[in-house]
Chains A and B, each alone.
Chain A
Amino acid sequence: MTEVLLEIDNLSVDYETGRGDLKALRNISFSLNKGEIVGIVGESGCGKSTLISSILRLTAPNTRFREGEVRFKGRNLLNISEQDMRSLRGSDISIVFQDPMQTHNPVLTIGRQMLDIQHRSSATKAEKLHRAAEMLSAVGIPDPQARLKQFPHEFSGGMRQRIAIAMALMSEPDLLIADEPTTALDATLEVQIIEHLRSLQQDMNCAVLFISHHLGVIAELCDRVVVMYAGAVVESGDVREIFGNPKHPYTRRLIDCDPGHIKERARVLPTIPGEVPDLANLPKGCIFRERCDQAMPRCTASVPPLQTIAEITGHRAACWLNHEEMAS
């Protein structure tokens, strides 16, 4: 049974800047079912972090929500009270950040922090410590009882990220957001983290929104994938569909850049010639037009809508080429 957990519906977000409004997100729509893992890929600056902070409503002060909704279990998070929002954070929705070296309080022991994060629970301190130790061993930290007494700087980067995952999953959330959790780590550690993440995710049946630069990890871990480019969704669908039969030139370029090695090698998104358009001053028509080798006159004239290509798999792409294809 698929039950929708998170639904981003036509979300547009601006940043007010000295140069005018920077259109960081434009008409983003996708959804996440209960227990599903959805990946978001896209170059640096395409708006991944903006999207996450919009979901958690922890945006920069110059953020303006222009239109759209973020529905979590049917409730629009953009207009519930701050109090309600805070009670969702860390209990129903948890997050793991990119840089494990920065996400822990440097002057508190890991145990102290893991106790603190259970502040909503009415369990006794001994029970909470027990639970903390349990979570640490679940992410493969040996000798958790002793480790709880140590400070963050006494752990390696990989361990710290596993601790961050343990802390995020402590409350058994329905949704875990992971913002490039492995980008700061080397390849072997990355595999380890992904393994732990997957096994915990299966045990708890929580949905994961997994943001990454790394196509290989997305291919390995995710059920579905959303490809973002310059603040918009250009393609989304089943992982195998997207990687096997990409319908947007941008996705194709991402994959083509490193054909045989996607699984192991594509740690960083391959670079594509040309520049991302200025979000404060968007060109007319398709945003990928200037870097696209298949651009047509139509691409300059108007923005291609995100269109369903295959109903069954939910494959969607925003490119005029598909319209031509379907027409013929």
Chain B
Amino acid sequence: MTNSRSELTQIVVGIVRDPLGLVGLLIVGSIVFCAIFAAWIAPYDPVAMNIQARLEGPSLAHPLGTDQLGRDTFSRVIMGSQVALKVALPAVFGAMFIGLALGMIAGYGPKWLDNLLMLLFDTLRSFPTVMFALAVVALVGPSLQTVVLVVMATSIPTYARVARTQTLSLRNSEFILAERAMGASVFRILGVHMLPNIIGVLAVLAAMDIPTVIALEAGLSFLGLGVKPPTPSWGALLKDGYALIRQTPWLVVGGGLPVILATLGFTFFGETMRDVVDPKLRKQR
């Protein structure tokens, strides 16, 4: 459609107009920017050791000091954003799209399929994410992919349930009946008419879910079950920092602050987006 671009612009404009949305967008934007250009922004190689400069406090050369191996904390924080997004984005968006597809099938398909899928979702959901992650990591060993897959598997049911509920309520709405009465096929109804009504809600959910996944990755890395050292993850920074908190607090700050910022940023962003994606709530042009 000719105005799909203008619609996207409208959503962005709507988010920027809201102060909370602007802050969220700025934080999210800087995290994404850091992740993409990490190699250029980071002043040092994040894994390069320098035994002479161990556990230094902040200085012009090292804004967040150095760790026990003399690695520059600031560079590791910057690189950490890349790790965080490499886990969070595929996990969240993968779960969102699979959940969306399964949820729509459950909501629109025959009753027995719905029951079967719901049983599957409930089973998956009954695993506590962290326990499940620990078990899987213990079995196949820690890696980025393992974390991504575990998070995806445990959050698919959440997206699927929301998509299913939306599909069920849309299914009986008059405009869908009207579409059927005008000869639309199942694919047209699901793809053209239901999808745009559901995707907004799921995108908001996904935005709010990203910090949870970032925190989970940090948590697993903190326990030594996330990404393998020496890869700089915020959780790994926290882990080192926790052990060395008496010598230097800067590691904990370097690992903790980005997690908090990311949580706030994505939540603000998601909340503003929720108000903006609904065209009925959008201000008249």
Contacts and interface: CB of A to CB of B under 8 A. Distances in A.
Contacts of B200: 107
Interface string A93-104: 011010100111
Interface stretch (B48-56, B66-74, B138-146, B170-178): B170-178
Nearest to A150: B285
A12 to B, nearest CB: 22
Interface residues of B, number: 24
Nearest to A129: B2
A86 B184 CA distance: 7
Nearest to A101: B174
Contact of B3 (A94, A105, A106, A149): A149
A120 B183 CA distance: 10
Interface stretch (A111-119, A233-241, A258-266): A111-119
Interface in A77-136: 86-91, 94-95, 97, 99, 102-109, 111-112, 115-117, 119-120
B224 interface: no
A116 B188 contact: yes
Given A99-B174, A106-B280, A107-B279, A86 B185 contact: yes
Contacts of A149: 2-3
B174 A90 contact: no
Nearest to B170: A105
B242 to A, nearest CB: 47
Contact of A90 (B184, B192, B193): B184
A87 B183 CA distance: 6
B284 interface: yes
B53 to A, nearest CB: 56
Interface in A194-228: none
Given A58-B177, A99-B174, A107 B185 contact: no
Contact of A151 (B178, B181, B193, B279): B279
Contacts of A116: 184, 188, 192-193
A153 interface: yes
A56 B183 CA distance: 10
Contact of B181 (A87, A95, A104): A95
A168 B183 CA distance: 11
Contacts of B188: 116, 119
A103 B174 contact: yes
Given A153-B279, A153-B280, A105 B184 contact: no
A106 B193 CA distance: 9
Contacts, number: 75
Nearest to B279: A151
B180 interface: yes
A164 B178 CA distance: 10
A108 B193 contact: yes
B60 interface: no
B196 interface: yes
Given A105-B197, A108-B196, A149-B3, A56 B181 contact: yes
Nearest to A83: B185
A154 interface: yes
Contacts of A154: 284
Contacts of A89: 180-183
A89 B284 CA distance: 35
A49 B200 CA distance: 33
A106 B192 CA distance: 12
B182 A94 contact: yes
A107 B208 CA distance: 22
Given A90-B181, A94-B182, A154-B284, A102 B197 contact: no
A135 to B, nearest CB: 14
Determine which residue in A91, A103, A104, A111 has the highest number of CB atoms from chain B within 10 A of its CB, and name it: A103
A108 B196 CA distance: 8
A102 B3 contact: no
Interface in B193-233: 193, 196-197, 200
Contacts of A58: 177, 180-181
A95 B182 contact: yes
A149 B5 CA distance: 12
Given A86-B183, A90-B182, A168-B182, A106 B1 contact: no
Contacts of B284: 154
B109 to A, nearest CB: 14
A27 B284 CA distance: 52
Contacts of A151: 279-280
Nearest to B179: A105
A107 B7 CA distance: 11
Given A89-B180, A97-B178, 9 more contacts: A90-B183, A91-B183, A97-B174, A102-B174, A103-B175, A104-B178, A116-B188, A149-B2, A153-B280
9 contacts: A58-B177, A95-B182, A97-B178, A102-B173, A106-B197, A119-B188, A151-B279, A153-B279, A168-B182
Name the 3 nearest CB pairs between A and B, nearest first: A90-B183, A90-B182, A89-B183
